[in-house]
């Protein structure tokens, strides 16, 4: 399901809304349109001719208003996958989604070759629990083929009363047959930040999406890790399958680890679209070694954070190439409760790299994998020999496992990328201590 979290800011008689989700938006006061120099008369003649032919010859009567709205819809959909014409219900749904609580499946979606593509399932939502994966392509919603539906129509079909079920027919890479996954709709409440200690001194921070309070929640999580571990030797920041969120939250998260410099900037043709966001000296974690985990489901705000930390050489980025969502959409209200969602700017990292359709390349590529432990024959040690000399320091006390240590061990065993991130982080910490 499409989701939109927002940051509102007064600007004249309108509201500015900045976000950087899969479909980042900005409500902005638009400048007075410039008078066009000329109109393409031949194309206008062709348009009116087609309009007249449809009205006269189509198998069923079609009203002028429906034809014109369809023309507007097609005009915007041809620009890029994120520009769209929003009819009253779609506009209302978008505004409703800015509250951060919504009913649905818990997935971030886009369009690819006429099919709905799963950008990422959101943590602990019905889709995530049902086994929907980033990169899956939905070909049917219940019995309705997706081909021919607009993204907003597909999203509308995925929404419904909490507790009701929907069957997603998907095709998945390296899976020969389509899969049918039953998902039960629910009210989606997303916890933005989670944390845990992986090993003594090494903390894990998971951001599932960027919400208004993510910066504060992250600071709270870091402080709790400090209380649990004392001095932190290293941190893993997990942004995998994070589709983005509020732009200011991305800046706040970057600011947690940076004490100066540019975080991100935007450039576009619309007046006021060239904006720079910088870090401030109020940095919570200035020198602690940091590894950031990303993958193909890391989009927009996630890419802004990864790109900023990479450009400032503040963190090592590992995983796989990110999604590449580096554009800003502006909501331009129209009469009769309608609006257009129009791409108006691009995001750039501090070093001027474009994110759009390119994403962030990790410093170290680590593909998802499963580790299989090879059983070793029993090896005798000195302590097994009869009459061996005792250690002069005496028998060392057993390390007392903290609560949750077993869960962490199981997590590392099934998450190869996280396990590698921890190993790399321990290496960085060791070198730094020399």
Q: Annotated active-site positions, please?
A: 300, 311, 325
What residues are paired with 93 via a beta bridge? none
Give the separation between CA 294 and CA 306, rounded to whole angstroms: 8
Which whole-number Å values give the CA distances from 425 to 63, 302, 316, 401, in the listed order? Answer: 63, 20, 9, 21
Residue 260 phi/psi, 5-degree rounding, is -170, 165
Contact call for residues 252 and 193 (beta carbons, < 8 A):
no
Contact residues for 350 (Cβ-Cβ < 8 A; gap 6+): 261, 262, 263, 264, 265, 307, 308, 311, 312
Neighbours of 252 (CB within 10 A): 24
Question: Exposed (0-12), middle (13-18) or buried (19+): which is 239, by Cβ within 10 Å?
Answer: buried
Give the span between the Cα atoms of 297 and 122, in whole angstroms: 10
CB atoms within 10 A of CB 238: 23
- Yes or no: say if 145 and 153 are a contact pair by the CB < 8 Å rule: no
CA distance 109 to 136: 10
Cα–Cα dist 6/212, whole Å = 7
Decide: 4 and 98 in contact? Cβ < 8 Å.
yes
Backbone phi and psi for residue 410, each to the nearest 5 degrees, phi listed first: -65, -40
Judge contact between 179 and 167, C-beta under 8 A.
no
DSSP states of 25-55:
EEE-PPPPPPPPS---HHHHHHHHHHHHHHH
Who's near 308: CB < 8 A, 6+ residues apart?
A: 254, 258, 262, 263, 264, 314, 349, 350
- Judged by DSSP in three states, 179 sits in strand
To the nearest 10 degrees (0 to 180), the angle between helices 247-257 and 301-311 is 30
């Amino acid at each position: 399901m499409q989701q939109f979290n927002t940051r509102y800011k007064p600007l004249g008689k309108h509201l500015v809304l900045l976000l950087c989700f899969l479909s980042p938006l900005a409500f902005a006061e638009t400048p007075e349109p410039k008078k066009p120099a000329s109109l393409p008369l031949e194309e206008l003649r062709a348009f009116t001719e087609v309009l007249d032919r449809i009205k006269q010859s189509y198998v069923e009567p079609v009203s002028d208003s429906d034809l014109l709205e369809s023309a507007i819809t097609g005009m915007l959909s041809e620009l890029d996958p994120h520009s769209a014409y929003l009819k009253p219900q779609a506009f209302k749904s978008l505004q409703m989604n800015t509250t951060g609580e919504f009913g649905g499946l818990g997935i971030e979606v886009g369009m690819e070759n006429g099919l709905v593509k799963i950008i990422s399932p959101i943590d602990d939502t019905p889709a995530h629990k049902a086994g929907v994966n980033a990169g899956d392509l939905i070909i049917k919603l219940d019995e309705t083929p997706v081909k021919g539906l607009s993204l907003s129509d597909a999203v509308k079909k995925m929404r419904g009363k909490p507790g009701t079920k929907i069957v997603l027919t998907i095709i998945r890479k390296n899976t020969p047959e389509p899969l049918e996954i039953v998902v039960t709709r629910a009210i989606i409440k997303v916890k933005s930040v989670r944390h845990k200690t992986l090993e003594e001194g090494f903390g894990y921070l998971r951001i599932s999406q960027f919400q208004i309070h993510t910066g504060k929640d992250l600071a709270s999580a870091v402080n709790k890790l400090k209380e649990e571990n004392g001095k932190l030797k290293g941190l893993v920041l997990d942004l995998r399958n994070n589709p983005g969120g509020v732009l200011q939250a991305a800046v706040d998260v970057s600011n947690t680890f940076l004490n100066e410099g540019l975080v991100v900037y935007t450039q576009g043709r619309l007046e006021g679209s060239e904006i720079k966001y910088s870090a401030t000296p109020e940095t919570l974690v200035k020198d602690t070694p940091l590894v950031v985990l990303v993958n193909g489901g890391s989009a927009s705000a996630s890419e802004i954070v990864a790109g900023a930390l990479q450009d400032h050489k503040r963190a090592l980025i590992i995983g796989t190439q990110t999604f590449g969502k580096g554009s800003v959409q502006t909501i331009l209200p129209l009469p009769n409760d309608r609006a257009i969602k129009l791409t108006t700017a691009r995001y750039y990292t501090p070093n001027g790299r474009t994110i759009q359709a390119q994403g962030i390349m990790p410093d170290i590529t680590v593909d998802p994998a499963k580790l299989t432990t090879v059983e070793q024959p029993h090896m005798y040690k000195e302590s097994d020999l009869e009459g061996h000399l005792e250690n002069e320091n005496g028998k060392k006390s057993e390390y007392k496992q903290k609560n949750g240590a077993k869960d962490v061990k199981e997590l590392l065993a099934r998450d190869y990328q996280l396990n590698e991130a921890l190993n790399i982080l321990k290496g960085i910490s060791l070198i730094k201590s020399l």
